[in-house]
Every structure is written in structure tokens, then in C-alpha cells.
Amino acid sequence: MKVKLILKSKEPESSEPKSLKFLLKKKNLRMRSAPYYIPKGHKLKPLGEDAHFVSPDQQTIGVADGVGGWASQGVDAGEYARELMHNSLDCVKKESSVIHPKRVIEEAFSNTKRQGSSTACVMTHNDGVLRAANVGDSGFMVLREGKVVYKSPTQQRRFNCPFQLGHGQKSDRPECAVEMEFRVIAGDIVVMGSDGLLDNLFEWEIEEIIQKEYHKLLKENKDSANKYEDLAYQIAETAYYKSLDKYCMTPFAIACTLAEKKHKGGKMDDITVVVGHIVNDSSWRMSALSSS
């Protein structure tokens, strides 16, 4: 009888500290995010060929860049990229547990039926861990205290020809996606973009913008979505002006020189920027504690 009593009284004690321990281990970090898109302004394709999605609730973002070469066959690869991102968002929204970016790309790819091909980069944040999958030359970087501490690798077959998802014979499949994992801390900034961003701005130029604008993000009085959109806009606009400049030095101009192509200045292209900010979220912590 005594033994039974001891066992009974032990049960709640042993389960209680366990769940508390689990909660205390949590960092309670959230990623706040917003996009900004500048299409290059083609009369027949006002939406351009880039596409993106942002899911604040699921802390997941994505960028796609439809491959322009399809235009010669009368295909608007922007439509493929938009369908791919739309399907990615659908997949993310219905996920009830941890999101796996490569699986998101796989499912979105199999549901995308249009002609065309596109690069794709999908990234999710889960309590201090970024997980991403990338096909092609879109990508992202993480900045800490104004300095780049991580940059995703890009995949190119040759100069200006990125890996690209599509159902055609020459296109790639989601199996080739590079997967990445990176630990972040409160205050870190994620900058994701298409090559319209990455080919026009050097890392140090993005660092400069973040260093200049970061204090605005810390101001609580400004509406959260707006301030992140402002930052994404600042970055996109800087890339846009460089893309128009025929003489400035850009990552694209350097790549051209290395590939022995004659090209100076920026690269006219659609420019997509998605900004993410890793923040402590005490309100989220309180709701997690009260619902446990």
C-alpha cells in the first residue's frame, strides 16, 4: 500500500518538471518578415518573372525567379514562378508541425503544372534555427550586428545559367536542392533575394544599409509589418539604382569579367527582397505557458 502511494505521488512530480524544462529550453524567438518587389517593367510582363511568398504565422519565406530564356518560346516563366510560390504557401499553411523547406519545394513543384522553369529558395525559422532549401541563384544571407555571418551557396551550371526547377527535360528536379541549417539569435536580420538583388549589391553594401536602418527596427511604436517593408524597400531600391547604372562595380560585372563577357555596371532584372528579423517574443511565450 505504501509503495502504491509513493508511486502515485511521484507521477505528477516527474511529468511536471519535464514539461517546464522543455519550456525553459525554448528560446522564444520569432521571425518577423516583409517583402518588397521591383519588377523590371516590361510592358508585356508587368508582373516580371520573380515571385515570392511570406507566411508570418509559419515564419516561412520564399523567393523564385522564372527563367527568362522561355520568352523565346512564347512562355512567360513568371507564371511558373508565381504558381510555384503560390503552391509553396499552400503547402506551408496546411503544415501543422515543423516545416521542412525541401519538402515544401518538392510538393509545390509536383503541383505546378505550367510550362517554364524557375529557381526557388524557401526558408523557415523555428525557435532560433533557420532551415532552408535552395535551387539555383536566388538565396539569402544572415547579418549579425550589421555584418554578414552566413550566406547561402548558389547553384549555376555555367555563367548566368542557374539550376532551375521545371518539368522539361533540361530542367532540374527538387532532389538537387541544397539544404542548409543556421542558428540565429535575437537581433539577427535575414535578407533573401533573387539574383536581381544578389547580382547588383555586394555584401558590404547590404551591410551598410542594415547598419544605417537597424535602429528603426528597434522602435516599437512603428507598425511591425511597415518597418520591415521599409527596410526591404531600401535594399531593393539601392539594387534597382545600381541595376540602371552602366558604369558601377557590381557582383554581376565581376562575374562577367571572370566569364570573359563584355559587360559593365549593373544588371537590369526583376528585384525581390524579403527581410526577416529575429526577435524575442515574450507575448508568444506567455501564451505558450498558459496553454501548457
Residue 170 beta carbon to Mn ion: minimum distance, rounded to whole angstroms: 18
Q: Which is nearer to Mn ion, 182 or 240 (CB)?
A: 240
Residue 52 phi, psi (nearest 5): -155, 165
Count of other CB atoms within 10 angstroms of residue 225: 13
Q: Which is nearer to Mn ion, 65 or 207 (CB)?
A: 65
Residue 151 beta carbon to Mn ion: minimum distance, rounded to whole angstroms: 18
Residue 202 beta carbon to Mn ion: minimum distance, rounded to whole angstroms: 17
Residue 168 beta carbon to Mn ion: minimum distance, rounded to whole angstroms: 19
CA-based nearest residue to 211, from 145, 131, 270, 276: 145
Q: Which is nearer to Mn ion, 63 or 99 (CB)?
A: 63
| H-assigned helices in 112-218 | 195-198, 203-218
Q: Which is nearer to Mn ion, 54 or 197 (CB)?
A: 197
> Rounded distance, CA 133 to CA 117, Å?
17
> Rounded distance, CA 178 to CA 161, Å?
17
Residue 44 beta carbon to Mn ion: minimum distance, rounded to whole angstroms: 17
Sign of CA dihedral 254, 256, 259, 260: negative
Q: Which is nearer to Mn ion, 65 or 281 (CB)?
A: 65
CA-based nearest residue to 87, from 70, 112, 122: 112
Residues near Mn ion, by CB under 5 A: 65, 194-196, 269
CA-based nearest residue to 102, from 177, 167, 166, 165: 177
